[in-house]
């Protein structure tokens, strides 16, 4: 007698993103992980800045020229946004670790507070950078011009 192999039904292995409606807690959790990765990339920019400052005015001028470019500004803005989000959401997690804010309405309020804090602090930081920081004056161009005059750039 021959036995036929049992037929296997095609079912998903586990519930998938297509099954569930995104909730604030799950979206903020995913964003927390993504901003952690983003902060790692941002730390590479920070290390470049430190090394450039240690090498001399020519290398520093090259970094500042990149940081002042549209791509550099976008990366720095993303780093700032990721920093403040990760900070605020990390504080929210500390409250959870102490057993607070577990009710769903409190979790949602805390999530909105994280988003509000992130938006306000990022906006305040970039207001200061663009109106009072190194990008508000021609110092980046002056530093680059001085370094070129000294022959320190490539």
Give residues with Cβ within 8 angstroms of 42, minimum separation 6: 75, 76, 78, 79, 82, 83
Q: Write the secondary structure of the chain as one string of H (helix), E (strand) and C (coil).
A: CCCCCCCCCCCCCCCCCCCCCCCHHHHHHHHHHHHHHHHHHHHHHHHHHHHHHHHCHHHHHHHHHHHCCHHHHHHHHHHHHHHHHHHHHHHHHHHHHCCCCCCHHHHHHHHHHHHHHHHHHHHHHHHHHHHHCCCCCCHHHHHHHHHHHHCCCC
Number of domain units in the chain: 1
Task: Confirm whether 137 is domain-assigned.
Answer: yes
Task: Confirm whether 13 is domain-assigned.
Answer: no
Task: Confirm whether 8 is domain-assigned.
Answer: no
Task: Confirm whether 14 is domain-assigned.
Answer: no
Whether the pTM exceeds 0.85: the reply is: no
CATH number for 73: 1.20.1300.10
Q: How many CB atoms sit inside 10 A of residue 30's CB?
A: 12
pLDDT in tens, 70-79: 999 999 999 9
What pLDDT does residue 80 have?
A: 96
Task: Confirm whether 121 is domain-assigned.
Answer: yes
What pLDDT does residue 143 have?
A: 62
- The residue segments making up the domain with residue 71 are 24-150
Task: Confirm whether 94 is domain-assigned.
Answer: yes
Task: Confirm whether 15 is domain-assigned.
Answer: no
More confident residue, 140 or 22: 22
| Mean pLDDT lowest among 57-61, 108-112, 113-117, 141-145 | 141-145
Task: Confirm whether 93 is domain-assigned.
Answer: yes
């Amino acid at each position: 007698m021959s036995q036929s192999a049992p037929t296997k039904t095609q079912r998903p292995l586990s519930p998938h993103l297509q099954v569930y409606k995104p909730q604030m807690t799950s979206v903020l959790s995913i964003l927390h992980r993504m901003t952690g990765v983003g902060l790692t990339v941002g730390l590479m920019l920070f290390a470049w800045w430190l090394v450039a400052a240690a090498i001399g005015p020519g290398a520093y001028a090259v970094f500042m020229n990149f940081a002042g470019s549209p791509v550099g500004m976008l990366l720095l803005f993303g780093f700032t946004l990721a920093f403040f989000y990760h900070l605020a959401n990390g504080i929210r997690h500390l409250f959870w670790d102490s057993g607070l804010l577990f009710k769903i309405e409190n979790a949602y309020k805390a999530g909105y507070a994280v988003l509000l804090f992130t938006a306000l602090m990022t906006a305040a930081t970039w207001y200061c950078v663009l109106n009072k920081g190194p990008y508000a004056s021609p110092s980046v161009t002056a530093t680059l011009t001085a370094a070129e005059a000294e022959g320190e750039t490539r």
